[in-house]
A and B are shown apart, each in its own frame.
Chain A
Amino acid sequence: MSFVLGTSLLAVVTALACALPGAFVVLRKNSMLVEGVAHAVLPGIVVGYALTHDLNSPWLIIGAALAGLLVVLGNEWLIRTGLITGDAPQGLVFPALFAAGVIFITLDFSHVHLHTEVVLIGDLNLAAFHHLMVSGVSIGPRYLYVMLAVLAVNVAFIAVFYPKLKVTTFDNQFATVLGMRTGLLNTVFMFLVSVTIVTAFHAAGAILVISLIVVPAATAHLISHRLSVMLALTALFAILGAVGGFWIAYALNAATSASMAVFYGLVFIAVALIDRLATRVRRHRRSRVCQPAAGR
C-alpha cells in the first residue's frame, strides 16, 4: 500500500473511531470532560511507553485509558463531596495529571522520546510510518489496524447498547427509575472514549483529539431530527473532514491533525450558514404563500 493511501485511510479510520462515540459525548454535554480525559491520559502514556516501548501496546492503551477514567470518576467524586461546584472539579483533576505527564517527559523518564509538539497535536505521518508487511508486501500502516480495532469496538458497543445509550443520554433520571444501570453504562462508555483517545493520541495528540470527537457530531446535531440520522451524518462529516484535512496538509506540507481540525471547523461554519439560509428561505416562502390568503 502506498504511503499516501495508507496515511489517508488512517486519517479516515481515526476520525470515524473518534466521531461516533463523540455523538453521545456532545449530546451528554460532556465535551469538556472528555477534553480533560484527553489531557489526563498523558502520564499513563509516558509510564506505559517507558515500560513497553510501544505506543500501540494494548497494555499501554488500557493503562492510560484508566488514567483518563480517573478524571471522570474523580470529577464525579468531587461533585458528590460538594467541596466545589460547577465544572471546577474537572479543572482540578486533569491539569495535575497532564502536568505529571509533562514532568515525566521533561525529566526524560526512562528515556522516553516524545516531543512536546507530538504530545499536543500528534503526528499522523509519523504514526503511519511503520507498515504491516505480509510476505514482503505492505498492507498499510500497522497503526491503521489498531485504529480499525478500536473503531470496530466502538461501533459494536453503540449498536448493541443503542436504546440504552439513547434513553440515558436524553433523560438519565427517567432511565434510573426504569431500573437501568445508568452509572455502569456511563463508566463503560467513558472508558471506551478514554481508550479511543489514547489510541488516537499518536495521530491527534492531547489537544486536537477533542476536535475529532466533538466537531463532526456538533455539525451533525445542527441539522438532525433523529439520533440515527445524526450518527450517519456524524460519520459522513468525519470522513469528509479527514479526507479534506489530509489533502490540505499534503498540499501545504502542514500538520495533518491540525489541518483536519481546521477543516472540521470550516465544515461546521458552512453547515450552520446553509441551515440558517434554508430556514430563512422556507420562512420567506411560507409568508408569501400565506399573504394572498390573508389579503382576502
Chain B
Amino acid sequence: MVPIACQARNVSVAYRADPVLRSVNVTVPVGSVMGIIGPNGSGKSTLIKAMLGLVKPLTGTSEFFGQPLDQVRHRVGYMPQSASVDWDFPTTVIDLVTMGTYGELGWIRRPGKAERARAMAAMEQTGIPELAYRQIGELSGGQRQRAFLARTLVQAPDLFFLDEPFQGIDAKSQQAMIDVLRDLVAQEKTCVIVHHHLATVRDYCDHVTLLNGHVVASGPADQAFTKENIRIAYEAREGAEAFLETAA
C-alpha cells in the first residue's frame, strides 16, 4: 500500500454562522498530485487553511506523514494565493524567496550567504533568476506566482500545498510551473493544488477531490473526476456544462 502524505479526518469549518465545510475526509498518497476542485465558495482554500492550522476547524484533525503538523513542519510547504499579500511591500524578489528559509533560522539568526544561494537556485528552477533584485511590485501576475513557488521550493519540503498557482498567469509562467511540478513528481514529492480550471485538471493532477461544501468524490482522477461527479459538485453551473459538452 502507498504510504499517506496527508490526511484530513472529519474536518468541518464555519465562518460565523455559515458552514463552509462539512465533515471532509481526504487522503493524499505520497507521490501524488491531488487537485482540490470545486466551484467558487466551495471551500477549497478553506480546506487547505484548516489542515495547516490557519483556520480553526469546528471538528476534525489533520495528519501529515502520520503526525500532527507541529512535528513535521519542515516537510510541509505552503504557497498562499498571490492576492493575499501587499505587493507594494518594500522588498526585492530574492528577499521574498529567502523568506522560505526563515523557518529553520530560530528566533534570532539571520539569513546569510548560504540561504541567499539557495534562494537563487530556487529562482533558477522557476525561471526568474534575472528578476532577483527587482522590487516585487514590478512583477507581472505570472512572475509573482513563480516567485511564490520559488519561496516554497527553497524550503525543500516533501509535501506542497499550492493555492491557485495557475491564477492570473501567462503562458510562459504556466509552462515554468508545469515543468517544476513534473520535477517534483519525478522526485516522489506530493502536491496538493487548489485549482478551478476544469479543462486542465487531468493535465496536472492524478488525484482529484471534488468539493462543494462537502466531498463529492475523492480519489484517483479517473475514478473521482467523472462527469457525474462534476455535475453534482457544480450543480450544473454554466462553466461546467460547457466543459462537459466539449468533453463528451
A interface with B by C-beta (< 8 Å): 27, 29, 82, 160-164, 166-167, 169-171, 173-180, 221, 224-227, 229-230
Nearest to B99 among chain A residues (CB) is: A167
Which residues of the partner chain B approach A179 to less than 8 Å between Cβ atoms?
Answer: 70, 73, 103
Known interface pairs A162-B110, A224-B90, A225-B90; A173-B80 also in contact (CB < 8 Å): yes
B interface with A by C-beta (< 8 Å): 15-17, 49, 52-54, 70, 73, 76-78, 80, 84-86, 88-92, 95-96, 99, 102-103, 105, 107-108, 110-111, 135, 151, 155
- State whether A82 touches B16 (Cβ < 8 A): yes
The 5 closest A-B pairs by CB, nearest first: A178-B103, A82-B16, A225-B135, A177-B78, A224-B90
Nearest to B138 among chain A residues (CB) is: A225
Nearest to A227 among chain B residues (CB) is: B90
Docked Cα-Cα span, A178 to B103, in Å, equals 5
Specify which of B15, B91, B96 lies most central, judged by the most chain A CB atoms within 10 Å of its CB: B91
Which residues of the partner chain A approach B92 to less than 8 Å between Cβ atoms?
Answer: 225-226
- State whether B54 touches A176 (Cβ < 8 A): yes
- State whether A177 touches B108 (Cβ < 8 A): no
Docked Cα-Cα span, A86 to B143, in Å, equals 32
- State whether A163 touches B89 (Cβ < 8 A): no
Report which of B54, B80, B102 forms a contact with A163, defined as CB distance below 8 A.
B102
Nearest to B96 among chain A residues (CB) is: A170
Which residues of the partner chain A approach B155 to less than 8 Å between Cβ atoms?
Answer: 178
Which residues of the partner chain A approach B105 to less than 8 Å between Cβ atoms?
Answer: 163
- State whether B91 touches A170 (Cβ < 8 A): yes
Nearest to A224 among chain B residues (CB) is: B90
Docked Cα-Cα span, A60 to B183, in Å, equals 60
Which residues of the partner chain A approach B108 to less than 8 Å between Cβ atoms?
Answer: 160
Docked Cα-Cα span, A82 to B17, in Å, equals 9
25 contacts between A and B (CB under 8 A): A82-B16, A164-B107, A166-B95, A166-B99, A170-B99, A171-B85, A173-B49, A173-B54, A173-B78, A173-B80, A174-B78, A174-B151, A176-B54, A177-B77, A178-B155, A180-B102, A221-B88, A221-B90, A224-B90, A225-B90, A225-B92, A226-B90, A226-B92, A226-B135, A227-B89
Which residues of the partner chain A approach B110 to less than 8 Å between Cβ atoms?
Answer: 162-163
Which residues of the partner chain A approach B54 to less than 8 Å between Cβ atoms?
Answer: 173, 176-177
- State whether B91 touches A166 (Cβ < 8 A): yes
Docked Cα-Cα span, A82 to B18, in Å, equals 11
Docked Cα-Cα span, A248 to B77, in Å, equals 54
Which residues of the partner chain A approach B95 to less than 8 Å between Cβ atoms?
Answer: 166, 226-227
Docked Cα-Cα span, A174 to B76, in Å, equals 11
Report which of A171, A225, A229, A230 forms a contact with B80, defined as CB distance below 8 A.
A171
Which residues of the partner chain B approach A224 to less than 8 Å between Cβ atoms?
Answer: 90
Q: How far is the CB of A261 from chain B (nearest CB, A)?
A: 24
Known interface pairs A167-B99, A180-B103, A225-B135; A173-B84 also in contact (CB < 8 Å): yes
- State whether A176 touches B53 (Cβ < 8 A): yes
Which residues of the partner chain A approach B90 to less than 8 Å between Cβ atoms?
Answer: 27, 221, 224-227, 229-230
- State whether A174 touches B16 (Cβ < 8 A): no
- State whether B76 touches A170 (Cβ < 8 A): no
Docked Cα-Cα span, A164 to B109, in Å, equals 10
Nearest to A228 among chain B residues (CB) is: B90
Which residues of the partner chain A approach B76 to less than 8 Å between Cβ atoms?
Answer: 177
Known interface pairs A171-B80, A173-B84; A178-B102 also in contact (CB < 8 Å): yes
Report which of B16, B78, B102 forms a contact with A164, defined as CB distance below 8 A.
B102
Which residues of the partner chain B approach A164 to less than 8 Å between Cβ atoms?
Answer: 102, 107
Report which of A27, A160, A171, A229 forms a contact with B99, defined as CB distance below 8 A.
A171
Report which of B49, B73, B84, B111 forms a contact with A171, defined as CB distance below 8 A.
B84
- State whether A170 touches B80 (Cβ < 8 A): no
